[in-house]
Amino acid sequence: MTFVKGVSGNPSGRPKGARDKLNRKVDEKLAELGCDPILGLGRIGMKAEEEGDLALAARCYSDLAQYIAPKRRSVEIVPPAQIDEARLEQIHDLFMDMRGAMSAAQVLVLPEGQE
């Protein structure tokens, strides 16, 4: 079989987002018990915060955060490209011109009696 980019190796496989057998069994058992682990963890965190146990509250909220916000990843910081002195001087002059224009505009906009 030849590899074709963008085509699954098993087109009739499990649909995206489908739960496997073990997860389905856990979901069913929790439903039978009437247990919502997310709600329980939230309650524990709130109770811990009320009682001043901020370490436990932080752990609970941190665990819950993964369900509402994506995990943060490290980002590589690339140093800026080299700018020659002439270009740097042009940027500085442009900035100073803009700064002067903004200062002049602010003077015109100020209400009477405020300077």
Phi-psi bin for 6: left (phi > 0), alpha (psi -120 to 50), beta? left
Per DSSP, the three-state class of 91 is: helix
Confidence of residue 105 (pLDDT cuts 50, 70, 90): low
Per DSSP, the three-state class of 39 is: helix
Whether the Cβ atoms of residue 45 and residue 57 lie closer than 8 Å to each other: yes
> How far is the C-alpha of 64 from the C-alpha of 58, rounded, in Å?
10
CA distances 42 to 68, 69, 95, Å, are: 13, 15, 50
pTM for this prediction: 0.46
**What's the gap between Cα 61 and its chain centre?**
15
Domains of the chain by residue range: 21-65
pLDDT tens, residue by residue, 31-84: 999 999 989 999 999 999 999 999 999 999 999 988 887 777 887 777 777 777
pLDDT tens, residue by residue, 6-36: 676 677 777 777 778 888 898 899 899 999 9
Return the pLDDT at 1. 58
Phi, psi of 112 (to 5 degrees): -60, 135
**End-to-end CA gap in the chain:** 78
DSSP string, 18-30: PPPHHHHHHHHHH
